[in-house]
Structure formats: C-alpha cells, structure tokens
C-alpha cells in the first residue's frame, strides 16, 4: 500500500476523526508532549555535559548513566506515544510538511548516535569513565546529541507554522 493511501486510510478512521473533532485532545496531548520533553532534554543535557568533560567531571560516567537513564527512557517513550497520537490526528497534513519529515530523519540519526555510542565506548566504560577528561569519540557523540535534539525541537515547533489550524 503506498504511503499516501495509508495516510488517507488513517485520516478516515474513527480514531483520527475523534482526535481531530475533540476540543481537548490535541492541546492535552501536546502539553504532555512538551512537558515530557523538558524532563528528557534536561537529563540528556546533563549526560552530554559529562561526556564532554564539562559537568560532574569526577563522577564515574556509568553511575550518572545508571541514575539518569530511567527518567530519560521513560520520558522518551511518553514523547514517542504522544507524538504518534498527535500525528494520528492529522496525518496527511503533518506528513506533507517538510518540518515533520526532517524531524523524523533527525530522530533516526539521534537514535543511531545513541546506538553507536552504546555499542562502542559504552561497552568499555571501565577503561575511561573515571577520567574527568573524556575520549574524543565521547565528546563527538555528546556534540552530535546536543545539536540533533536542538534541531529536532526546532523542527517540531516549526510544524505548527506549516500546518494551518483546522
Ligand atoms: C522523541 C522526540 C521528540 C521531540 C524532542 C519532539 C519535540 C516536539 C516539539 C518541541 C514540538 C512542538 C510543540 C509545540 O509547538 O507546542 C512537537 C510537535 C509535534 N510532534 Fe514531536 N517530538 C518528538 C517525537 C515525535 C514523534 C515520534 C512524533 C510522531 C511520529 C511527533 C509528532 C509531532 C507532531 C505531529 C507535532 C506537531 C503538533 C502541532 O503542531 O499541532 N513527535 N514535537
């Protein structure tokens, strides 16, 4: 089934119509999307600053990861769920905007960055985590993370300017 037919089918479902017709669904879901973003971003920035060797320099990296990963993962899953719900409310229009597409591509890149870090330096924490000054690859992963999440947020915000209110 081509993407456009799938999106049209989704748009015509009772679920999508109910989301669109509801006065409260979108503002409530979007508020949760943004509130969980604050939790996700706040803790992610802390992790990235440690990977850059800027903050909490004398704490072992795995200890910081152990403490911050649960709220980061929880907030991320909530953002994913609320994001999909927002999308379901108006799939044809959202998919039609460049900002939504760019946001999804950058989201994949940000997840790839996490995957690459976890399967390389993240497997060898004991070799470098006590050192206040982190390896160049850890710094690169942190910079990529900060840049990508900032760009994802900017693209998310821009969607509203490309999709006129119903
Ligand atoms: C997980 C990382 C994500 C971040 C950091 C993020 C961030 C944002 C931000 C900052 C906004 C703007 C909120 C506003 O204007 O009030 C937004 C809106 C939006 N997000 Fe996300 N988002 C994420 C995931 C997703 C996912 C996975 C989807 C869908 C598959 C999604 C779909 C949307 C849609 C459709 C809007 C526009 C809502 C509107 O303007 O009415 N988001 N996002």
* pLDDT tens sequence across 38-80: 999 999 999 999 999 999 999 999 999 999 999 999 999 999 9
CA distance 115 to 59: 23
Please say whether the beta carbons of 88 and 150 come within 8 A: no
Report residue 165's pLDDT band, with 50, 70 and 90 as the boundaries.
low
Confirm or reject: Cβ of 87 under 6 Å from ligand 1.
yes
CA distance 105 to 34: 20
CA distance 149 to 162: 20
Share of the chain above pLDDT 70, in %: 99
pLDDT for 166: 59
Which among 30, 9, 40 has a CA at the least distance from the CA of 84? Answer: 30
CA distance 154 to 34: 12
Report residue 11's pLDDT band, with 50, 70 and 90 as the boundaries.
very high
Confirm or reject: Cβ of 159 under 6 Å from ligand 1.
yes
Cα–ligand 1 centroid distance for 132 (angstroms): 35
CA distance 109 to 106: 5
Residue closest via CA to ligand 1's atom 15 equals: 157
Cα–ligand 1 centroid distance for 16 (angstroms): 17
In the predicted model, what is the mean pLDDT of residues 79-88?
A: 98
Mean per-residue pLDDT over the chain, rounded: 96
Report residue 15's pLDDT band, with 50, 70 and 90 as the boundaries.
very high
Q: What radius of gyration, in Å, describes the C-alpha atoms of the chain?
A: 19
Confirm or reject: Cβ of 46 under 6 Å from ligand 1.
no
């Amino acid at each position: 089934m081509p993407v456009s037919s799938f999106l049209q089918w989704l748009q015509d479902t009772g679920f999508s119509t109910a989301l669109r017709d509801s006065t409260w669904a979108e503002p409530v879901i979007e508020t949760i999307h943004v509130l969980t973003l604050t939790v996700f971003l706040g803790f992610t920035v802390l992790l990235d600053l440690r990977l850059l060797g800027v903050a909490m320099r004398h704490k072992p990296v795995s200890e910081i990861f152990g403490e911050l990963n649960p709220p980061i993962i929880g907030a991320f899953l909530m953002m994913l769920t609320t994001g999909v719900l927002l999308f379901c409310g108006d799939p044809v229009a959202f998919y039609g905007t460049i900002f939504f597409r760019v946001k999804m591509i950058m989201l994949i890149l940000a997840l790839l960055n996490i995957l690459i870090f976890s399967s390389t330096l993240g497997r060898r924490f004991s070799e470098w985590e006590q050192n206040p000054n982190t390896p160049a690859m850890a710094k690169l992963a942190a910079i990529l993370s900060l840049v990508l999440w900032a760009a994802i947020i900017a693209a998310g915000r821009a969607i509203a300017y490309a999709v006129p209110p119903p």
